[in-house]
Amino acid sequence: MSQRCRLILERGSPKPVSEIGQLLACHLPVQPMDAIASVRYGGGFLADDIPEETADALRADLEDLLGVRCRKIDADRSAVVPHGYRAFALEFRRSDLVVRLVTSKIVIPLADVRGLHLYALRRPEEASPQPAGNGVPLPSERELLSARATALIESLAQDGAGPVEFYLTLYCSEPFGPVRVRRSEFDFTCLGDEALDHSLDNFLLLIDRVLDRLPHLWHRQAAQDFLSSLDVRRILYFKPEEAESFDRWNLLWIQLEAEERLLARPASAVGPESGAKEEP
């Protein structure tokens, strides 16, 4: 019996969604529109539970015809997304990141922070009443905003996106997992003297700080593009499942790369893994 496989996108590969979906439909018993939707909302997972020979043919066509790089793995291999940590403050030190939790702190080496995911989700209108103008602040609140935050608010209003919530996830090596920031729950006093008067400004400043202190992060270009354009459509999801799929793909890559590093190390160099340090 042929081995069952799944295909996942390589990190850094181009991802032309429509073209990938159409090519998948040529190899798999799926309608093109369904395949395109699966690619669009599936994070970096392209095809699940397919015969090995089909995976090999699809992988070759994706590379040769579209320049899309993907990896074949066992069908039962998937990353379970841990709950991770809800961060209420982040403090960057010289070589580590202090994450304040509800009643404690954890310390993560900066080298163990591998990637970031900046995204927005629509908020139910009934759960978050907004002033008139489709989310544009009242004049009294507008006075608190910088020019950058004002431009973002106006972009939201012009695009008709309505009220949204902003999120930032940091993908960290095991045993840490994802560190999650939600703008409305975060204590921006950790920005110190840089903190401004409005949480939207401070969220943008937090992204600036993360990008500045962690130049090696995966997906930093997407965050930089958003800061340059202030176009929320670049980071807007319509369902939480879209963000969860992207999380699974990134955490799987962290596992795969950790295994590759372990295999590449000489046996004498393999020692116990460091764990999360928790502080009261």
Q: Would you list the DSSP string of 36-97? A: HHHHHHSTTEEEEEEEHHHHHHHHHHIIIII---EEEEETT--------EE-SEEEE-SSEE
β-pair type (105-109, 96-100): antiparallel
For residues 44 and 110, membership in a common domain is answered with no
Residues 37 and 165 in one domain: no
108's enclosing H/E stretch is: strand 105-109
Decide if 212 is inside a domain: yes
Q: H or E segment at 247?
A: helix 240-264
pLDDT digits (tens, 9 = 90+) for 251-273: 999 999 989 888 887 765 555 55
Which tens digit of pLDDT belongs to each residue from 117-134? 999 998 765 444 444 333
Confidence of residue 98 (pLDDT cuts 50, 70, 90): very high
Range of 18's domain? 4-74
165 Cβ contact list (under 8 Å, min separation 6): 120, 121, 123, 182, 183, 184
Give 87's contacts (C-beta < 8 A, 6+ positions apart): 99, 100, 101, 179, 180, 181, 186
Same domain, 57 and 134: no
Number of domains in the chain: 2
260 and 217 within one domain: yes
Q: Are residues 29 and 89 in the same domain?
A: no
**Is 67 in the same domain as 93?**
no
CATH number at residue 40: 3.30.1390.10
Residue 194 has a CB neighbour count (10 Å cut-off) of: 13
Same domain, 118 and 237: yes
Q: How confident is the model at residue 76 (pLDDT cuts 50, 70, 90)?
A: confident
